[in-house]
C-alpha cells in the first residue's frame, strides 16, 4: 500500500491538464511531458524493457515473459493527462487516515467540505485512508491512480519472479480527456492481443460499454449593420445561435439524463458577437441508432435556420470522437469474463454498468485491441471534490496481478 500511495502522491503534484479545444497536435499541452519523462525514468530504473517515449508523448514498456509457456500478450494502459474542466496546477493532496465518516474540510478554501451528505460513497470507506484535494484544484486520480497501480503491479512482478507470466505490455497515454489522443496510438507496434485500461472509479467497476461520442462545432454567421438602419437587414449571430440551441430537446441535456439516456451538452460558447457566434457541443448516446438521430437533429436544425435566414448562416461540423466498445468486445468476451473471475476470487463484487463517458479502450477496441476498463479507486472526477481510496487502489494492483495469473494458468 505504501508503494502505490507514494507513487500516486508524487504523480498528482505534476500538472498535466490537456486542452479539448486544441485539435491539431498531440499532446495538446506541453505539461504532459513532465510526467511522461518522470515515468520513463522510473520504468527504466525498475528494469522494464523496451521503454520508449515517442514524439507524441506515448510511453510504452515491456515486462518480458518468464515462462516458455505460449501465452497471450496482455496490455495495461492508463492516461497521464487530467481534465481541463478544473484547475490542475498546485495540487495539494490531503491524506485522511482512519476516516471517521464525517465531513472533511478542504482546507484550501474556507468553509468548503467534502461531505457524505452530498457524496454518500464516502461512507463505504469508514476506517480507511482517503486522499482528497484541498478544494482549489482537482486531485488527478483520473487517471494517475491507474498509472500508479499499473507501475506498482509491474514492480511487484519483477520482485516476485516465482509468479509466472507471459509478455506484458504497458502504456501511458496523453490526451484521453480530449477523446482524441488515443487516435495516434500505434496499436500494431504495441503488440498486445488484448488489454485493460485502468480508468474507472469505485471498487469492483468493470466496464465494457460506453457512449458513442461526437463533438460538434456550430458556427453562426450574422450580418452586422448600424442598429439605426437595421430593420430587415441585421442578423444577430448571437440570437440566431440561441434559436439554434433552443431547437435541441431540453430533456436531452446532461442534467436531465441518466443510465443509458444520451444527451446534447453545450460545452462552451466563443466568439460571441453580432457578426459571428460559435459553440461547442458534446453529443452522446449508448445506442448507435439514437446517436445517429442526435447527430442528424443538429444538421436538421441548421438546415431550418439556413432556410429562414439564408444559406450559410449556420455551419455544423461534427467530428466523431469514439464509439461504444461493446460491439467489439462481445466476440472476445473472455477478456471481460477473466476480469470478473479475478474480482470474484479477490472477494470483490463486480459492478457492471455502462460508462456515461468514454475511455481510451473504446477507440482501441475498434482498432483491433479489445480493451475493457477496470476500477482505480477514484471518485468525483474533474473537480475539487475528487477523492481516492488507498485500499481500493491496492485492490486494483491485486486485480492486475490476478488477471495475469489467470491467463498463465488457463
How confident is the model at residue 271, as a pLDDT? 75
Catalytic status, residue 42: no
Q: To which H or E segment does residue 388 belong?
A: strand 387-389
Catalytic status, residue 176: yes
Quote the cell numbers at residue 161.
Answer: 519472479
User: Whole-number mean pLDDT of the chain?
Assistant: 95
CATH number of the 212-322 domain = 3.30.70.360
How confident is the model at residue 359, as a pLDDT? 79
Sequence ranges of the chain with CATH classification 3.40.630.10: 2-210+324-409
Sequential DSSP letters for 181-208? GGGG--HHHH--SEEEEE---STTBEE-
* 223-232, 239-248, 345-354: least confidently modelled range: 223-232
Q: How confident is the model at residue 388 (pLDDT cuts 50, 70, 90)?
A: very high
Q: How confident is the model at residue 24 (pLDDT cuts 50, 70, 90)?
A: confident
pLDDT over 70 percentage in the chain: 100
Q: How confident is the model at residue 1 (pLDDT cuts 50, 70, 90)?
A: low
pTM score of the predicted model: 0.83
Contact 7, 151 (CB under 8 A): yes
Q: Rounded CA gap, 85 and 93, in Å? A: 18
Domain 2-210+324-409 has CATH 3.40.630.10: yes
> Pick the residue with more confidence: 147 or 272?
147
Sequence ranges of the chain with CATH classification 3.30.70.360: 212-322
Contact 314, 238 (CB under 8 A): no
Strand, coil or helix: 391:
helix
From 20, 40, 81, 177, the catalytic residue: 81
Q: Rounded CA gap, 126 and 378, in Å? A: 16
Sequential DSSP letters for 35-51? HHHHHHHHHHHHT-EEE
From 40, 134, 149, 176, the catalytic residue: 176
Res. 52: pLDDT tops 80? yes
Task: Kindly state the average pLDDT of the residues 237-242.
Answer: 96
Other C-beta atoms closer than 10 Å to the C-beta of 326 total: 18
Amino acid at each position: 500500500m505504501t508503494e502505490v500511495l507514494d507513487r500516486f502522491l508524487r504523480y498528482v503534484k505534476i500538472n498535466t491538464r490537456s486542452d479539448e479545444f486544441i485539435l491539431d497536435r498531440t499532446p495538446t499541452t506541453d505539461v504532459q511531458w513532465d510526467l511522461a519523462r518522470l515515468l520513463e525514468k522510473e520504468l527504466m530504473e525498475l528494469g522494464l524493457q523496451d521503454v520508449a517515449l515517442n514524439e507524441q508523448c506515448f510511453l510504452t514498456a515491456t515486462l518480458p515473459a518468464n515462462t516458455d509457456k505460449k501465452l497471450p500478450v496482455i496490455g495495461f494502459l492508463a492516461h497521464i493527462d487530467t481534465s481541463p474542466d478544473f484547475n490542475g496546477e498546485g495540487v495539494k493532496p490531503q491524506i485522511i487516515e482512519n476516516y471517521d465518516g464525517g465531513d472533511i474540510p478542504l482546507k484550501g478554501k474556507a468553509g468548503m467540505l467534502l461531505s457524505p451528505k452530498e457524496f454518500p460513497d464516502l461512507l463505504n470507506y469508514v476506517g480507511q485512508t482517503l486522499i482528497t484535494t484541498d478544494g482549489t484544484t482537482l486531485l488527478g486520480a483520473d487517471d494517475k491512480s491507474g498509472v500508479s497501480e499499473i507501475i506498482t503491479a509491474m514492480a511487484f512482478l519483477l520482485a516476485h519472479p516465482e509468479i509466472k507470466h507471459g509478455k506484458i505490455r504497458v502504456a501511458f497515454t496523453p490526451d484521453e480527456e480530449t477523446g482524441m489522443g488515443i487516435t495516434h496510438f500505434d496499436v500494431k507496434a504495441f503488440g498486445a492481443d488484448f488489454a485493460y485500461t485502468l480508468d474507472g472509479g469505485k471498487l469492483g467497476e468493470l466496464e465494457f460499454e460506453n457512449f458513442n461520442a461526437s463533438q460538434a462545432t456550430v458556427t453562426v454567421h450574422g450580418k452586422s449593420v448600424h442598429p439605426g438602419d437595421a430593420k430587415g437587414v441585421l442578423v444577430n449571430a448571437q440570437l440566431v445561435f440561441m434559436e439554434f440551441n433552443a431547437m435541441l430537446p431540453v430533456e436531452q441535456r446532461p442534467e436531465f439524463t441518466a443510465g443509458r439516456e444520451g444527451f446534447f451538452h453545450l460545452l462552451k460558447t466563443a466568439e460571441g458577437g453580432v457578426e459571428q457566434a460559435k459553440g461547442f457541443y458534446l453529443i452522446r448516446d449508448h445506442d448507435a441508432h439514437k446517436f445517429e438521430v442526435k447527430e442528424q437533429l443538429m444538421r436538421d436544425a441548421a438546415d431550418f435556420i439556413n432556410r429562414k435566414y439564408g444559406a450559410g448562416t449556420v455551419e455544423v461540423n461534427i467530428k466523431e470522437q469514439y464509439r461504444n466498445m461493446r460491439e467489439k468486445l462481445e466476440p472476445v468476451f473472455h477478456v471481460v469474463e477473466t476480469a470478473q473471475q479475478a474480482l470474484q476470487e479477490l472477494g470483490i463484487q463486480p459492478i457492471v454498468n455502462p460508462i456515461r463517458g468514454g475511455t481510451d479502450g473504446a477507440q482501441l477496441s475498434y482498432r483491433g485491441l479489445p480493451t475493457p476498463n477496470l476500477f482505480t479507486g477514484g471518485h468525483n472526477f474533474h473537480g475539487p471534490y475528487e477523492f481516492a481510496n488507498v485500499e481500493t487502489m491496492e485492490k486494483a494492483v491485486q486485480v492486475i496481478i490476478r488477471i495475469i495469473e489467470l491467463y498463465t494458468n488457463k
